Amino acid sequence: MKVFFDERQLGHKPEVYYRGGAPMPHPEQPERAILIRDMLIEHGFPISAPADFGTDPIKAVHDPAYVDFFSDAYERFLKEAPEGALGIPTRHPGTRRGRCPKDINGAMGWWMTDTSTPLTENTYEAIYWSAQTAISAAKDVMDGARASYGLSRPPGHHAMTDCANGFCFYNNACIAAHHMRAKWGKVALLDVDVHTGNGSLDIFYDRGDVFFCSLHPDPAVYPTFYLGYADETGEGDGLGASLNEVLNMGDGETEVMEALDRGISAIQDFGAEALVVSLGFDMAADDPLAAVEVYAEGFAEMARRIAAMGLPTVLIQEGGYLGPSLRANAEAFLTTFRKEIGG
């Protein structure tokens, strides 16, 4: 199984964000990807640099103006910001009536929903190559590989059609899934990150050609809030093509595997011909953002059940932060998945 990764993804280095009104060290750090990359090298996974597909595949799922905003946003911020300011949005339009202003602070609030997606010197380069990593993994599977892994960082599944959210800028998994529609009539996106794939839900909610399933705790009490309730099943052409498997805070591996099995059954009933997995390791019991309790063997069992679906599969990295077991969990899932698919 080939791995795609680009060193330029390490350039985004956020310092702080605000949680519950308090400043916190930002958990989405480059070391996450370095740790997983080094583990993969030790296990003999071939790692390739992604190709450059440009912005068209990104704009296929995102508002083009939103995509373009990030290309020079940090430089614009520096020109207007006071000495020592951080590129954190501080103004938000709420209902989003109106239009994007010329002022960079207003524009940041227009395109960025919270404080977790600050602009840094190399943010655009990092998110651009994170998306190219996902597209390259998708292309590898479209060209005949049984499976491929995009070590995308920053992650993407909270990024909505036209706004950044929850550490995420471009929705790498949605970009990959839409790209795969050029070959397969029905594609499924399975999100096993602990947080609601709210961005993916937003992007595919009215589409019937991509089935979306997310496993996550109740958004009434756990971030990312707002989207991901069990009665949100899609609309228009997408009615019935969204499935939110809502867990309880503190659920263990039994409940998580039961939810995974229901999601797999729904994907099979949909008739998916190919699969994208938003792969988060933050379901770990000791993750810094922990909400449920999955351990290394649980991640290995997830890999077995997903591999047993027998679909051409693209794995796209999402969450999983610098807790004690991150490496072990990534190792358990990825080495097990490779073994189950035979290479």
Catalytic residues: 158
Which residues on adjacent β-strands are paired with residue 185?
A: none
Residue 45, phi then psi, degrees to nearest 5: -70, 130
Do the bridges between strand 147-150 and strand 47-48 make them parallel or antiparallel, or are there none, so unpaired? Answer: unpaired
Burial state string for 4-24 with b = 16 or more CB within 10 A and e = fewer than 16:
bbbebbbbbebeebeeeeeee
CA distances from 226 to 54, 131, 155, 218, 220 (A): 32, 25, 19, 10, 7
Supply φ then ψ for residue 108, to 5 degrees: -60, -45
Task: Tell me the C-alpha distance between 303 and 339, whole Å.
Answer: 10
Residues 256/292, Cβ–Cβ less than 8 Å: yes
Residue 96 sits at φ, ψ, to 5 deg, of 70, 15
Element (H, E) at 242: strand 242-247
N- to C-terminal Cα distance for the chain? 6
CA distance 150 to 1: 11
C-alpha distances out from residue 149 to 13, 145, 274, 298, Å:
23, 11, 14, 19
- Residue 23's DSSP bridge partners are 18
Query: What element of type H or E holds 188?
Result: strand 187-191
Q: Are 217 and 223 in contact (CB under 8 A)?
A: no
Place of tokens 């996550």: 216
Closest by alpha carbon to 204, among 129, 136, 289, 270? 270
